[in-house]
Amino acid sequence: MRPKVVSKFLDGTLQKVLPGLLCPAVDAVLNLVNAKFTTLTSEIPLGTAGTLQYALLNPPVTNETFVELDLKTILHQKEGKEVDLPTDQPSLGSLPPKRDAATQLILSANFLTAELSVLQASFNLNISNNMVLGLPPLVTTMLGALIPEISRVLPPSQPVVIEVQEAKAPVVTITREKSFVQLFSTAEFWVSPSDSAPESLFVLDVHSNLEAQFAVAEDKLRLSLALQSGCGATGILHHFSVFQELPLKGVLADIIHEAYVPSIN
């Protein structure tokens, strides 16, 4: 319907002018997006324990107000071995609603469990008397008072060291009300005489249930753990037969609360 002269003018103008205007704008947008994706897919160190990397599983989904990315997480241990992750993904309908003007990253409990498994070696700790201030002294006399069965063979008033090591990977559980981290550890009790080599006394298996609080600070996810419950079962080592470990559980829970959990945090 346009007059030919107008059509000719517009066609010539659009062909000459618009490419020069639009191409730089498109280039700027693509450069910005590429820079974001380069950061997104780069390797992230997890201290000295391993690395984390994201990769796109599917093409981005664009909406009127946001872009949705379906990411695969790749975890490598320090030795370079990749950590197996469950492939099941939560349905989009189960995720929290998107908030306006906010970037949201949804992480599953399975992923957090795998990430803590990479870090679990850093949870190992040797607990000595100077780390449990305000609690009963960590010496053989205290152990003998709690466990009469072993008091006869313990040297008196010798310092005791508790070697806590993670026996298997932590497990993260997330509910709408609270989140928890379960730790499965061994607590080996050593007596450390000043004039001889340390001697292992016994080992307890310790299952600790810790409430987890999440926060984001400086682009990092932070977990703060607080002990909810802890239990132990004895093993038979060296010259001790099976003994009733129940009197030791309360003291061990206090020691984990005062020394072990702060070390993890």
pLDDT digits (tens, 9 = 90+) for 236-260: 444 455 555 666 778 888 888 889 9
Q: Which fold has domain 115-264?
A: Bactericidal permeability-increasing protein; domain 2 (3.15.20)
Number of H helices, E strands in the chain: 6, 10
Distances (CA, A) of 42 to 12, 32, 45, 50, 110: 45, 16, 10, 14, 22
Torsion of CA 164, 170, 175, 178, to 10 degrees: 20
CB 166 within 8 Å of CB 124: yes
Q: In this structure, what token pair is assigned to residue 16? A: 């000459």
User: H helices within the chain, ranges in order?
Assistant: 4-40, 109-119, 140-146, 148-151, 246-255, 261-264
DSSP state of 48: T
HSE-up of residue 196 (Cα within 13 Å, Cβ side): 7
Q: What's the N-to-C CA distance of the chain in angstroms?
A: 73
d(CA 181, CA 170): 7
Q: What is the pLDDT of residues 47-87, one digit of tens each?
A: 888 999 888 888 888 877 777 888 888 899 888 888 887 76
Which ranges in the chain are annotated with CATH 3.15.20.10?
115-264
Query: What does pTM read for this prediction?
Result: 0.74
Closest CA to 107 of 214, 243, 227, 261: 214
The rounded percent of the chain whose pLDDT value lies above 70 is 83
Q: What is the pLDDT of residues 102-141, one digit of tens each?
A: 777 888 888 899 999 998 888 999 998 888 878 888 888 8
For residue 171, what are the contacts with CB-CB under 8 A and spacing of at least 6? Answer: 113, 181, 182
